[in-house]
Structure 1
Amino acid sequence: MRRLSAWKTDNLCRIALLCIGMVLGASSLTAQPYHIRAGDVLLIEVLEDPELNRSVLVTPDGRISVPMAGTMRASGQPIEAIQRGLAGRLDAAFTNPPTVFVSVQRLADPRLEAGVMTQPKLISIYVMGEANSPGMLKVPKNTNVLQAFAAMGGFTKFAAIKRIQLRRAATIIPLNYRQIEAGAQEAHMQLREGDVIVVPQRRLFE
């Protein structure tokens, strides 16, 4: 009887240890940080400059665009890494290191991950001059002019926003951001592969 009792006690201890291990294992899995995906919407807050606070969409190529910080990769990154990256990019614009908070405002549509929805085809456009994120940008097909302005992170304080040009092959299309912001029809003009947006520098007293 003593041997049977000892055997039961030993096995009960083993079962208890196994259960504890399973609980700890589950806890460690739960503690894994969430990694951002394309299609997520992030809320970005900068304590020192509320004008930079905004919601940004993680584009299909996994990037976000933030004024003064430019374009950076977000997909596959934990929240903490994005916060550090943005703070580092914004550091030069502040006397002291800025305090940046990033949170997930809305998760990507799960149908994208399941393959039920196909991600939009991307086209390449090019941005030159006084934009916060000049260079080549990958944007979804059918992106319009106003959406492109958002994708390039807006304009620098030196931008001549009334004299922007959209260059399409040999054609130059003048764009006035003030009019577009007020609802001009150019806002809905769809961009094409290879389009170039030129943002000139302001003249004196402009």
Structure 2
Amino acid sequence: MRRALLLLPLLAACTGQEIRVQQQRPEGFTAWTDAPPVYRFGPGDRLNVRFRLTPELNEVALVGPDGTIALRAAGRVRVGGLSPAEAEAAIAEASRRLLLNPEVSVAFDETAANQVFVGGMVERSGAFPLVGRRGVLEAIMLAGGFTPEARMNEVVLIRRDPENRPMLRTVNLQGFAARAEADVPLFPGDIVFVPRSRIAEVANFVDQAINRTLPFSRGFSYTINRGATAGTF
């Protein structure tokens, strides 16, 4: 098994020593890329479903809390977490109960899943709408801003890549308040976590995000090395 290292450099507030977090199972996250992730449907999205050869079956469908939509031609189809192309394929397959060779297209009628999740050392953790172009710092401001315990220079950002694989990086927001234009832009589904000064907060958050928030399960272990020279992510 590949043992490449993922480093989260952290500065120990109490001792002044540099602390390095070394992830022992880096296969949980793929290499970071700035390529925009593919939008994936979520509850509250309204989809414009079109059948090219049988337009009388066209309809607008609402994605329910369970991630499914109900269609006359296809019945109930699970589209939550799917990209538009994947949803088209799923609906076409389900429609074969009535149609011979269905040709399906899916477009947005209205989006409700454009949101990001902010947690950790902020005033109000939760999901927040992603309207227009917003960055990590702006999302934290929507969550009421940093608490006094926040580690502003090691904010954790988790995102899915275009192949729906999870990526993790850290963002240094120390002093960013005066340079908002340099903020890191967010995409729907991004998770932002602001750790406190204690190293355990980062490890605990990643474990919780992996096992509870993101739709996959991985195990992680961490070691702490003092006095090591750490790079930036």
Asked if these proteins are the same fold (TM beyond 0.5), I'd say no
Bigger relative contact order (CA 8 A; separation at least 6)? 2
Name the structure with the higher helix share: 1
When normalised by structure 1's length, the TM-score is: 0.39
In terms of Rg, which structure is larger?
1
